[in-house]
Amino acid sequence: MSSHWIRDEKRAAVILRGHCACVYCGEYLPKGLGIDHVVPREHGGSNHESNLVVCCNRCNRLKGTKRMVVFVREITAGDKDLEMYILREIKNQRRRKLNKVGAIFALLLLKADHYLKAA
């Protein structure tokens, strides 16, 4: 197993912790919802839950390997109130513990729904 791989249960728990909305743009349940490393792996970041936040694919692609503060400053274009709001939300997400039981239950429901639709 690669050190870059994040289990589905952990990924789902991070998404639930972030209320299914991108921490950067705020879009709720966007297509391609995933997670982002606040401190990129290229800069020594890990897969620890405190380094993971909800992020849409668009923002994740735009952020790339930039440091989180640099990216937030870019997307807020000088709006200090918005910048502080986003940074506070990132801090809050990182502090909250993951609900792994809830995430496993959500994954089971999604898989059951998928199988029912396929039948």
Query: What CATH number has the domain bearing residue 31?
Result: 1.10.30
Look at residue 92 and tell me if it is in a domain: yes
Look at residue 3 and tell me if it is in a domain: no
Look at residue 17 and tell me if it is in a domain: yes
Residues 4-42 pLDDT 10s: 678 888 888 888 889 889 999 999 876 778 899 999 999
Q: What is the DSSP letter of 55?
A: E
18 closest CA partner among 58, 26, 45: 26
- Burial class of 54 by CB neighbour count within 10 A (0 to 12, 13 to 18, 19+): buried
Q: Which domain does 91 fall in, by range?
A: 8-118
Helices and strands (H, E) in the chain, number of each type? 5, 2
Look at residue 67 and tell me if it is in a domain: yes
Query: What Å distances lie between residue 104 and 8, 9, 40, CA to CA?
Result: 9, 6, 26
Rounded mean pLDDT of the chain? 86
* pTM metric for this prediction: 0.79
| Cα 26 to Cα 59: distance, rounded to the nearest angstrom | 10
Question: Which residues touch 35 (CB under 8 Å, ≥6 apart)?
Answer: 6, 11, 14, 15, 52, 53, 54, 55
Q: How many domains does the chain have?
A: 1
Look at residue 1 and tell me if it is in a domain: no
Q: Measure CA 47 to chain center.
A: 12
48 closest CA partner among 94, 107, 106, 105: 94
Look at residue 106 and tell me if it is in a domain: yes
Look at residue 2 and tell me if it is in a domain: no
Which pLDDT band, with edges at 50, 70 and 90, does 90 fall under? very high
